[in-house]
Copies of this chain bind each other. A is one copy, B any other.
């Protein structure tokens, strides 16, 4: 490594340190912080953001990037050094268009908004949330205004969560997905499924032990991981050796915590699997949230709600709650397709429609075709249209997700893209590991985890999804594999040709 590249690495390492510090503060806010800590926390996050933004966008960092680029000496595009310079330059080109004060304002407003959202959701009171959402949208628009080379403001936001993705492309994928899902849902919804084993009285402490045992099978390591409670479950990491996942608990339904923990553990495995050589660099965190979500959805649904692993889970569930659950009943119960209010608890088929709803609404909000005060009504009307259900209160409607409160606008589409990518990876993994289902049925998850690490995790942020997918599965993001997977599963569960 040359001196110039080393100099750049040191600067970027300090920026990763600041990012990790901000992530610790944010984790603490969502899991530990007493409510009245919110104003000071928002200031601390705003200051961290301002300082790291100023440090990053400085002409100094620009010179370091130029100097390092000049010394790559024909290193392969895939090498750590070339990737570092390429990705950092892309971040720098984008960040320097944004004033540091705006970056700080975004961080502050996102932190304050989350705290108010917790209370607004609890009370199902949209009105107290209005000024905070209005502020977040206004800041998101000002952020988008910093860029003029995008087709529309929404694309600026989307690009931060899924580099290179456009809303027209998302809309095209979603149209195709929706046209496949709607008849699937119609067919499955009218057929009865008995999911009564999932509902009852399941003491939280037993749910904790069950969830913990399952994530330990997946690769949760107590020396480097924690699991905690959160109002809105999430995963984060401060480097590959400090991974934090969260879940929430419903005493009447263990599916929420169990599959939620598998979901977040899927995210955690991604962060934990990034190569050591990329730690403390901007490549050391996954960047495409579609890829990230593919990991969580793959573990939650394709493994967790799959037939092979149901044979592993059923005896664990039986032991945890002193009940008798057989694998086939569990498999059928957790694949019941029905319209429901809460996205994170939706089945695999209706899930996509929850995302389409949010994608369309947040575009309308950003474009000011929809005002914040009209949002609950618009949500409820579109929800009825898509699901045939009357939203009973905003808690189970527009207030259910944390994202908009935290300023994460343009983020939702990556969830449905995650399903699509998971379908592609799942198909490919079965080709590369022919006995994958047998291994999973035997409770052996390392073969899958290692395949994912080798093909996805270890690269960190080296490649956007648009480059990684062709490398691994031979094509860009596509709807087919996910739909084929889902049709196969639902045909079996509902004993019907789909």
A interface, CB within 8 angstroms of B: 13-14, 17-18, 20-22, 24-25, 28, 32-37, 39-41, 43-44, 46-48, 50-51, 55, 221-226, 238-239, 241-243, 279-280
Total copies of the chain? 2
Please indicate the chain B residues that have their CB under 8 angstroms from the CB of A22 in the complex: 21
Of the residues B13, B39, B226, contact of A241 by C-beta under 8 Å = B39
* Closest partner residue, chain B, to A223 (CB atom): B36
Q: A24-B25, A44-B20, A47-B18 are in contact. Are A34 and B239 (CB under 8 A)?
A: no
Please indicate the chain B residues that have their CB under 8 angstroms from the CB of A279 in the complex: 40
Please indicate the chain B residues that have their CB under 8 angstroms from the CB of A239 in the complex: 37, 39-40
Please indicate the chain B residues that have their CB under 8 angstroms from the CB of A221 in the complex: 36
Q: CA A20 – CA B35 in complex, angstroms?
A: 16
Write the nearest CB–CB distance from A88 to chain B, whole angstroms. 17
Contact B280 A34 (CB under 8 A): no
Please indicate the chain B residues that have their CB under 8 angstroms from the CB of A13 in the complex: 43, 47
Q: CA A32 – CA B228 in complex, angstroms?
A: 10
Q: CA A17 – CA B134 in complex, angstroms?
A: 26
Q: CA A189 – CA B34 in complex, angstroms?
A: 44
Write the nearest CB–CB distance from A237 to chain B, whole angstroms. 9
Please indicate the chain B residues that have their CB under 8 angstroms from the CB of A224 in the complex: 34-37
Q: A33-B242, A35-B223, A37-B224 are in contact. Are A44 and B28 (CB under 8 A)?
A: no
- Interface hub of A13, A17, A280 (most chain B Cβ within 10 A): A17
Write the nearest CB–CB distance from A244 to chain B, whole angstroms. 9
Write the nearest CB–CB distance from A34 to chain B, whole angstroms. 5
Q: CA A41 – CA B238 in complex, angstroms?
A: 8
Q: A28-B28, A44-B17, A51-B51 are in contact. Are A37 and B241 (CB under 8 A)?
A: yes
Contact A17 B48 (CB under 8 A): yes
Contact B37 A242 (CB under 8 A): yes
Write the nearest CB–CB distance from A230 to chain B, whole angstroms. 14
- Interface hub of A22, A44, A55 (most chain B Cβ within 10 A): A44
* Closest partner residue, chain B, to A31 (CB atom): B32
Please indicate the chain B residues that have their CB under 8 angstroms from the CB of A14 in the complex: 47, 50-51
Q: CA A36 – CA B242 in complex, angstroms?
A: 7
Q: CA A36 – CA B48 in complex, angstroms?
A: 24
* Closest partner residue, chain B, to A226 (CB atom): B34
Q: Could you write out 6 A-B pairs with CB less than 8 Å apart?
A: A18-B48, A21-B22, A21-B25, A33-B242, A34-B226, A40-B239
* Closest partner residue, chain B, to A224 (CB atom): B36
Please indicate the chain B residues that have their CB under 8 angstroms from the CB of A242 in the complex: 33-34, 36-37, 40-41
Contact B43 A17 (CB under 8 A): yes
